[in-house]
Structure 1
Amino acid sequence: MSIEVVNVSTWYGDVVAVNDVTMSLGAGVTGLLGPNGAGKTTLLHMMAGFLPPSKGEITVSGQPAWRNPDVYRHLGLVTEKEAVHGFLTGAEFVLASAKLHRLADPKRAAEKALNLVELGDPRNRRISTYSKGMRQRVRLAAALVHEPSVLLLDEPFNGLDPRQRMQMMDLLHRMGDEGRVVLFSSHILEEVEQVSGTVQVMVSGRLAASGDFRTIRRLMTNRPHVFSVNTSDDRRLAQVLIGAPWVRGVEVEPAGLVVQAADYGAFTRALPGIVRREGLRLHRLRPADESLESVFSYLVGAS
């Protein structure tokens, strides 16, 4: 199984949600990383056949995703927005999904899916009594009930406690190792790092970077970094830093120094020694540009 996205764009009036994205997804776990509003959900919905591309083509194992109900025999989707009936028990909800798929033994399939997500006694309680994490798991069970070879998950770790997050990560790993195509979206770098081997980075509707996690991490680490620094003598430190090869610029402000480092590692390793040698006292050292938006904006420029 595979998903092929070829020159896909979609727009709503004058707003471009996805802009000329091309990617190929095979067996294993892939993380779709990007800040909120990057177009991740729109892309997932097009892969699932919920939305048509305005331009380009999306295929699931060679078959078009749009207007092709047969795709759902092999595809499971867990949306970010919850769409569950609170008056049903977890077991009833998953059983209903099994029946919609017209499985030969829906009760057995529902039981297997519930066990897979480790939803024990709560399966017989109404979903309206569930925590956020439990609702996530019962929705995942409904998506897995027909044992799809392609699984799409939109922000699947939202609302999970640490133990549930580890269970979810382990489950995604196992499904990837089984040869399934697993794609999940996230705006949190650490989630993607712990789960996926391949990363697709989206920013403002564009595919900004693509590759294994080490490649993406290297791009992020090698970008220029801005630090806020405050010492007992900021002007003295500025005079020393301005000549360093791993510093691009230094500004002296009332609150301290704003240092643009060309090399993140070299700057953070050298600064403690400089402070000691100059007899200064370091009061503050804080990255000033560590938001996801700033990181991803750099990747757009580097791509």
Structure 2
Amino acid sequence: MATISIDGVSRWFGNVVAVNDISVRIGPGVTGLLGPNGAGKSTLIHMMSGFLAPSAGTVTLDGQPIWRNQQTYRQIGLVPERESMYDFLTGWQFVLANAELHGLPDPGAAAARALATVEMEYAQDRKTGTYSKGMKQRVKMASALVHDPAVLLLDEPFNGMDPRQRLHLMELLRRFGAEGRTVLFSSHILEEVEQLARHIEVVVAGRHAASGDFRRIRRLMTDRPHRYLVRSSDDRALAAALIADASTSGIELDRQENALRIQAVDFHRFARLLPRVAKEAGIRLYTVSPADESLESVFSYLVAS
């Protein structure tokens, strides 16, 4: 079990502040790192992997500083967003070189295991310069896994992957998280984050905007009405019973969906009110589903705020 701690960390490049006073803990399991382009995600990942020193604050792995600490590097695997590969090397040579750099007792066996894990044995003897972007992503993943790290840091790992490759990598990351590894990945495809990581960290304009289960984050946004899609045995009667209560700010009959679209300004009160009103009026509830608790909705609210 490994935990990365980021405490009061800032990073600036000249007059540009890329990361501004961020504190966060990344523990075992799969964590998604979200933020608009230029929010500071890659800078954070580079500091967590030991490739970049913080301008202020500390980044530690289980209490040990990561910057210029070879012992922590042995526990971290990094998949950078940029290619950063030697096109004249074959996939096998590229992964083997990383195994040798780590001083592994049997670098050949370690390289073979890593390439098999990402299903790249079939192309391991080809030069990486002939690889597609998705293949390069997978061989970078093999290189990051070659020393069996406790921590995996992946910057946009799904870029360029076809649907089959993407599904395979998602299953791989789920497995690593279930094994107790600490996995952090950034992605601009919200559906991938939603499927993989219940826990998210959101960075906006270099600052830490939110942390936790995105559904819980949504419920804490009390300044924004919650939207629900409700189907019942008598939508009109249900709407009439609900509209008078202060927990709702608007109810619309959606004829196309054959359902009610309800805006609730008091989540907890509405959650208690709806079943009680339905029971008292003898109305059966068929569907009660949140219409804006997706990760996409939460992310758009956070970025706009």
> What residue number does 1:151 align with?
152
User: Is this contact kept in 2: 1:35–1:293, CA < 8 A?
Assistant: no
> What residue number does 1:210 align with?
211
| Among 285, 289, 302, the residue aligned to 1:296 | 302
> What residue number does 2:57 align with?
56
Cα deviation for residue 224 of structure 1 reads 6.2
Gaps of 5+ in 1: 226-243, 247-261, 277-286
Cα deviation for residue 292 of structure 1 reads 9.1
User: Is this contact kept in 2: 1:198–1:213, CA < 8 A?
Assistant: yes
Q: CA RMSD of the aligned region, Å? A: 2.8
Task: Give 1:256-275 correspondences, 5 Å limit.
Answer: 270-273=252-255
User: Is this contact kept in 1: 2:218–2:298, CA < 8 A?
Assistant: no
Cα deviation for residue 217 of structure 1 reads 4.9
> What residue number does 1:85 align with?
86
Q: Tell me, in whole angstroms, the C-alpha distance in 1 between the residues paired with 2:162 and 2:244.
A: 44
Gap change, CA 1:95 and 1:129, over 3 Å in 2: same
> What residue number does 1:237 align with?
none
Q: Which amino acid aligns with 2:59?
A: I
Cα displacement string for residues 128-155 of structure 1 (whole angstroms, at most 9, x for unaligned residues): 1111111000000001000000110000
Task: Give 1:169-188 correspondences, 5 Å limit.
Answer: 169-188=170-189
Q: Tell me, in whole angstroms, the C-alpha distance in 1 between the residues paired with 2:54 and 2:224.
A: 33
Cα displacement string for residues 244-278 of structure 1 (whole angstroms, at most 9, x for unaligned residues): 999xxxxxxxxxxxxxxx97xx66xx25349x9xx
> What residue number does 1:46 align with?
47
**When the two structures are aligned, how many residues end up with a matched partner?**
251
Cα deviation for residue 157 of structure 1 reads 0.7
Cα displacement string for residues 41-94 of structure 1 (whole angstroms, at most 9, x for unaligned residues): 000111111111111111011110112122111111010001111111111111
Q: Which amino acid aligns with 1:51?
A: L
Q: Tell me, in whole angstroms, the C-alpha distance in 1 between the residues paired with 2:173 and 2:300.
A: 29
TM-score, normalized by length of structure 2? 0.75
Gap change, CA 1:31 and 1:15, over 3 Å in 2: same
> What residue number does 2:142 align with?
141
Cα deviation for residue 189 of structure 1 reads 1.7
Q: Tell me, in whole angstroms, the C-alpha distance in 2 between the residues paired with 1:117 and 1:138.
A: 7
Q: Which amino acid aligns with 1:170?
A: E
Cα deviation for residue 294 of structure 1 reads 4.7
TM-score, normalized by length of structure 1? 0.76
Q: Which amino acid aligns with 1:172?
A: L
More displaced 10-residue stretch of structure 1: 139-148 or 192-201: 192-201
Cα deviation for residue 220 of structure 1 reads 7.7
> What residue number does 1:232 align with?
none
Q: Which amino acid aligns with 1:17?
A: A
Q: Which amino acid aligns with 1:77?
A: L
Q: Tell me, in whole angstroms, the C-alpha distance in 1 between the residues paired with 2:11 and 2:300.
A: 24
Task: Give 1:65-104 correspondences, 5 Å limit.
Answer: 65-104=66-105
Give me the identity figure in percent.
59
Q: Tell me, in whole angstroms, the C-alpha distance in 1 between the residues paired with 2:298 and 2:83.
A: 25
Q: Tell me, in whole angstroms, the C-alpha distance in 2 between the residues paired with 1:216 and 1:161.
A: 31
Gaps of 5+ in 2: 227-242, 259-291
